[in-house]
Every structure is written in C-alpha cells, then in structure tokens.
Amino acid sequence: MSGFKEFFAEADFVLFDGAVGTQIYARGVPKGHCYDELNLSLPETIQEIHREYVEAGAQVITTNTFGANAFILEEYFALGDKTREINYYGARLARQAVRGRAYVAGSIGPVTRPLDTDKKIDFQDLRAIFQEQIEALLEGGVDLLVLETFADLDELLLAIQVARQVAPDIFILAETSFPNNGLTLFGKNPYEVGFALEKSEADALGSNCGTGPQSVLETIKKMARVTRKPLSAMPNAGLAQFVNGKFYYPFNPEYFVRYGQKLLQAGVKILGGCCGTTPEHIRRMAAELKGLKPRSRSLSLIGPVTTTAPKVYKERIETQYKTQVEKGWAVSVELDPPKDPNIDKFLKKIERIAPYIQAYNISDCPMARARMSSIATGNIIQQQLQKEVVIHYTCRDRNILGIQSDLLGAAALGLNNILTLGGDPPAVGDYPFATGVYDLTTEGLVQLCSALNHGRDLLGNPLGRPTHFYIGVGYNINDQSLPAFNSLVKKINQGAHFVVTQPVFNLASCWPRLEELKKKNIPVIVGALPLTSFKQAEYFHYEVPGIIIPEKFLARLEKLKAKEAEKEGVKITIELINELKPAINGILLMISFNKLYLLEEIMAKI
C-alpha cells in the first residue's frame, strides 16, 4: 500500500470505520470498564471488531485508544503506568487486523473532561500527556492520527501542535463535537472552530459524535465556509436510549447512507461513524456511495463568526436573611423535614418559634436518611409561615443535570438562601447500598451556584436570567488543620458569601480561625447545639466526627439527672453564644425537634 497521504490525495472520498466502543459494549463489556485496557486483556475481541469493519469496506480503522492518555487512565482506572503499553498494542492490534487492506488511524481523545473532575491540568502537563500517547501510537505503527470529539478548542490546537512536533510528516485529522445546540460544550460555534483549525497544522478537519447525522451536516456546512482544508464527518447513529438496563442507539443504516450522500454534496471528503454506528452502517455506505465524489467547494472564505459572548450579570442578592447577617446578628434553627408527606403537624410545631428567628434551616436527608426534600419543605414553610428558609443542598444524591435542575427550580420558587454541603455518605443511612453520586464537590457546587448568579452555567453558557442565591458553605472549625482551612478558602474564592460552622464548644481552639475569617470579610454563623444529657455529650464527643466537647462541660453534665442536665446544657449554650457574639454574625441552633422549647429559653438570655 502507498502512504496514506498519497492514497488520500488520489481518493474521491475516504471511508473510516464506525464506533469501536459501541461494538465492545455489544459484546457484553459494561460501561465503566476501561475499554482501552482491553487492548491488553481482550486483544482477540478488539481485533475481531477491527476485522469486521475492514470486511465491511472501511478504508481506515481507528485504534481502540480514544481515552488512553495518562491522565484518564490514572484518574479513573489507576492504569496510568500502562499508558504506553495500551497505545502501542492498540496500534499493533489494528495493524495486524487490517493485514494491508486498510490504513490505521491512531485515535486520540481529549484529556480534559468538562465537569468530570475538579483537577486542573496546565498546558505543560497537557503537552507531555499528548506527547506520550502520540509517541506510543507511532511506535505501534499508525499511518495517521485522528484527534476526535474535542470540546475545548485550545486543547485541540495544542494536541495538533504536539502531534506535528512529534511527527512532522504525519497526516492529522482534527475533529470537534458540537452537542450543545450547534455549539461545543464551551460555547464555540462551527465558524470559530473551523477558522481556528484552518490556521492550524491539521491536514483535515471536521465534526464527529454530536447528536446524529442532521446536526453534523449543519455543522459541516458552516465549517466549509471558513476553511479550504478537506472536511470530515463522523456522526453518531442518533440519540441513545437506556432501556432495561442497557444503552441502545437507533439502527438506521439506510438513513445513515442518505446523509452520507448529503455530506458528500456538502463537500465532505472523509466519512465514518461515531457512537451507535456498526459494521452494517459502514457496509451500506461502502456499497451505496461507491463512485460518488464530494461536491467542489467554493474557495471564498468568510472571516470567523464569533459566538456572542453571554452577558455576565453582576450578582444581586436581596434576601432578608442576608440583610440580618450583614447587620451583624441572625438566628436560625436547623430542622429535619418530615419523613412523610403530612406536613401540617410539622408546620404547627415550628410556627411557635418563628418570632425568635430570622430563618429556618432545612436539612437535606441528614445522616443519609430519606425525608421530604429540602426544597419542597422550604417552599411550603416560606409560603405558609412567611418566614425565609435556608435550604441545605448536598452533592450526594444528584448528578450535575439534577443539581442544576433543582437549583433553577429553587430559584423560581424564591428559595434564595442555600447552604452547600457534601452530604453524609449513603453507607451510614437507611439505604447503605445506595449510590453516592458526588458529580460535583462542594467547591464545584459553590462554583455552579455562583455561575448561575452571574447568568451562566458551569461551562459559561448563558441562562437568560441569573439566579440570586445567597451561598453558604459548611466548615468544621474544630479541625485546625491547614488543608481544612485551605479547602474553605477555595470555596470562598469560588463565590461563597457566608460560612456556617459545626457546633462549637472548645472556644480556645476556634478563636484563631475566627480571626482569619474576619480578615477575609466573610460572615460567620456558628453552630450552637444545646446538650441535654451526659450520655448525649459523650456520644457527640467520642462518636461524631468534627465535634469536640471540653472536659469541663462533660464534668458539669456527668452527675445530673434529665431535667437538670437539660438546664445545664442550656446554660452552657448561652455562655458560649454570649462569648462568641462579638466575633460572629449569627448562630445556627441545632435543637432536637422534640425540644424546640429550649430555643425560647436560649433566646431570652442572649
């Protein structure tokens, strides 16, 4: 066979293979497994997939290495030390499978995965990661490189640059995905991307993945207006469905061929398939598109059409609770929502304490035990009792789609005070085998709330109108370690407006951190937990992480009977609050639901 560049120059159009991952999944390998690692553990399966595509008529086979870079292999699968081996054998398996009947393209996907991880990778590290993967693929014998499904244009341009430095003569195909209503995940349109890739050292450019053939065709038509370079199109079969525990894509080879014809008419020279496409899709394309040629494209170029930058709104937060906090003193009480939908009894009981507080704090399935949602409970309280609430919201139970959906709903309901938390792990609760989602860390949740307040989502895409969240973060002030404090500072830097601490008993250890927070000009609400018995105090001190009760308080409670211990616990709470009051902006009282009467006693003496 001639070199790929010579073949490409002479060919009317070039047909790549379809999805590799879909074929692996169809063979029973579950999602979540490292598909790239199968180059080592199931080489026969990978070769079988490659052979099926060659026999279907594919002229180029892509290696099973889309996610085989050191960062992803290590971060998600602890296989970073296998990076070179996985890529080398990925190339060798493809080379052995084609037996001179097709060319082999080294598949390289993005290193960064938006929102999957909070870890930041600088360009020097990215450069090294791409270089390692590219060198291993070249050592394995690939004929060309395909950089596919990129969302970040800057990252793609860097990958092209590295590829060209490592292999000056290699053919480079650069493809971007536009799943976000015709934009990349970072809001770039096809004109911007096409114009940038036209000026790059890529030999060809195009679009892959996305939502299906229609959207890719529209993308290609736009890219064609800003580049002279050959175009590629490798759409998904369509949208995936999850049925009976499995993912399914539409099986539509005839439809796919029809759009193959339209893509050739749009001037595309490289065709193939992405997610959901099969050897049958490629077989039908090879048979029915044979003899067709891409339509000649106009060489007149337009300049880049930039995406209109989303309006960035200035934060506007006007909650009554915020006003009280900033005045210097706000009292709230933490409540666990009901375990059933009958909320009338709950409302009746908490109504009597309304005159003593500025807000109700509504917990979010504390201790991982199922209760009414904090948003539903908070909305009912705010509507019926006319008292503001601070909803607690955890990262534990929702993926990022559910989180953003909930937050937009809360904003629409006027629930604008929010305390962002990680959430107790499911293992400690009613359903220990439930899945803890944690798509976002608490830092990421703060970042999302702040972005929404500025009229954007986490990726910078415009909302239309901003939210108005007053964003709180939790802090275990009893943990004096620097990492714990630095974690809090990161959340403050991401946009948190106030801090809520764990219950405080050991004042001596807390003063230094309170002083440091005062310098940062951020309001601090201290947790106050009235102890009601020696047994309870021992439990909190020895069994509950993050709570430290000094010996002097344990001694005051040790020999007291129930009512006397309760009174002493109230005295201790009042002493602590009065000593802390000049240095803080308020308290969050954490009182058992059956002892809310203690709040009245405390409020009378602070």
The pLDDT, as a whole number, for residue 305 is 63
Fold type of domain 4-288: TIM Barrel (3.20.20)
The pLDDT, as a whole number, for residue 539 is 92
Beta strands in 378-495 (DSSP E): 389-394, 417-421, 470-475
User: Can you give the pTM of this predicted structure?
Assistant: 0.76
The pLDDT, as a whole number, for residue 211 is 83
The pair of three-digit structure tokens given for residue 339, joined into one six-digit string:
């375990």
| Mean pLDDT along residues 217-225 | 95
The pair of three-digit structure tokens given for residue 68, joined into one six-digit string:
């085989």
Residue type, 121: I
Tell me the domain boundaries of the chain.
4-288, 327-530+585-603
Give the whole-angstrom CA distance, residue 222 versus residue 39.
37
| Mean pLDDT along residues 355-379 | 96
Residue 337 burial class via C-beta count within 10 angstroms: exposed 0-12, middle 13-18, buried 19 and up = buried
User: Which tens digits make up the pLDDT trace of 402-426?
Assistant: 999 999 999 999 999 999 999 988 8
Task: Report H helices in 224-252.
Answer: none
Q: Is 568 helix (H, G, I), strand (E, B) or coil?
A: helix
| Mean pLDDT along residues 58-79 | 97
User: What number of helices (H) and strands (E) belong to the chain?
Assistant: 23, 18
The pLDDT, as a whole number, for residue 279 is 97
Task: Decide if pLDDT at 491 tops 90.
Answer: yes
| Mean pLDDT along residues 228-256 | 88
* Bridge partner residues of 15 (DSSP): 271
Task: Decide if pLDDT at 242 tops 80.
Answer: no
User: In terms of Cα–Cα distance, which of 384, 424, 395, 389 is closest to 410?
Assistant: 389
User: In terms of Cα–Cα distance, which of 376, 377, 386, 450 is closest to 420?
Assistant: 450
* Bridge partner residues of 14 (DSSP): 270
Q: Which helix (H) or strand (E) holds 334?
A: strand 330-335
User: In terms of Cα–Cα distance, which of 522, 475, 479 is closest to 501?
Assistant: 475
Higher confidence at residue 398 or residue 246? 398
Cβ atoms 586, 593 nearer than 8 A: no
The pair of three-digit structure tokens given for residue 419, joined into one six-digit string:
């305390």
Do domains 4-288 and 327-530+585-603 share one topology? The answer is yes
Q: Is 443 helix (H, G, I), strand (E, B) or coil?
A: helix
What percent of the chain is predicted at pLDDT more than 70?
A: 97
| Mean pLDDT along residues 67-82 | 96
Task: Decide if pLDDT at 126 tops 90.
Answer: yes
Instruction: Tell me yes or no: is domain 327-530+585-603 CATH 3.20.20.220.
Output: yes
Higher confidence at residue 353 or residue 430? 353
- Please report where in the chains the tokens 């008419």 appear, as a residue: 265
Residue type, 404: Q
User: Which tens digits make up the pLDDT trace of 435-484?
Assistant: 899 889 999 999 999 999 999 988 878 888 999 999 999 999 999 899 99
Give the whole-angstrom CA distance, residue 369 versus residue 437.
15
Give the whole-angstrom CA distance, residue 59 versus residue 53.
9
